Amino acid sequence: MASQLYHEGNRALQDAFGSRRIADRLEAITFRQAFTETDRSFIESAGFFFLATADAEGRPDCSFKGGPPGFVRVTAPDELLFPDFDGNGMFKSLGNIRVNPAVGLLFIAMGTIPARLRVNGTARVLRDDPRRAGFVGAQLLVEVRARAIFPNCPRYIPSDGAPSPYLPQAGTPPTEPAWKSFETFRDAVPPRAPAPGIPDRPETRET
């Protein structure tokens, strides 16, 4: 079955680094097109997210979107809604959506239990939608129809202002994330590619 996440550019690098099997496994297990209750809870508790858009010529833009927890709402199994508040008047993100509806949203939780969730799909800008009355301060709404929903490994997210312990350090063997040793994934995890300054050693896993 054709992949819904990967194109030939992804595949070329996966093959170069021997990671096609784990990429396919991750898609098979974590990819979805409807929000779970865990997804809903995570999204609706978020105080910010990052929004990627592109103009009609494919030139990308990325914006920070912030609000009180609950400012992003899951409104259908494959749909979410968020407000646009008064800003600098440039309308970079929403203007892009008007000419190119493809969007990517990245939700991140930092702290003792880091997490991240990606939502890719198509968006539309709503001006005269009655739901706007339910968002204090909203001048517009943005509705996103999800095409791909999936979590990502959070290992490089900093915690309480400290760098992630998984970051490469010269002369120090790498710490492997626990998920690579899970029965679901471990047979598909490729060996690490050699990297400058990182010593070789038998693979070890964090438990």
Q: 140 with 175, same domain?
A: no
In a domain, 156, yes or no: no
Q: 133 with 43, same domain?
A: yes
pLDDT on residue 38: 97
Q: 55 with 106, same domain?
A: yes
Distance CA 195, CA 145 (A): 39
Q: 124 with 175, same domain?
A: no
> Can you give the pLDDT of all 207 residues of the chain as single tens digits?
689 999 999 999 999 999 999 999 999 999 999 999 999 999 999 999 999 999 999 999 999 999 999 999 999 999 999 999 999 999 999 999 999 999 999 999 987 889 999 999 999 999 999 999 999 999 999 999 999 999 999 999 988 778 888 898 898 888 889 999 999 999 999 998 888 988 876 444 454
Residue 51's CB: how many other CB atoms inside 10 A? 23
Domain of residue 173, residue span? 168-207
Structure tokens, 124: 């539309």
pLDDT on residue 207: 42
Q: 141 with 199, same domain?
A: no
pLDDT on residue 202: 42
pLDDT on residue 205: 46
Q: 49 with 145, same domain?
A: yes
pLDDT on residue 66: 98
Q: 128 with 43, same domain?
A: yes
In a domain, 12, yes or no: no
Question: What total of structural domains would you count in the chain?
Answer: 2
pLDDT on residue 174: 84
Pairing of strands 140-151, 115-126: antiparallel
Quick one: 57 exposed, middle or buried, by C-beta within 10 A (0-12, 13-18, 19+)?
A: exposed
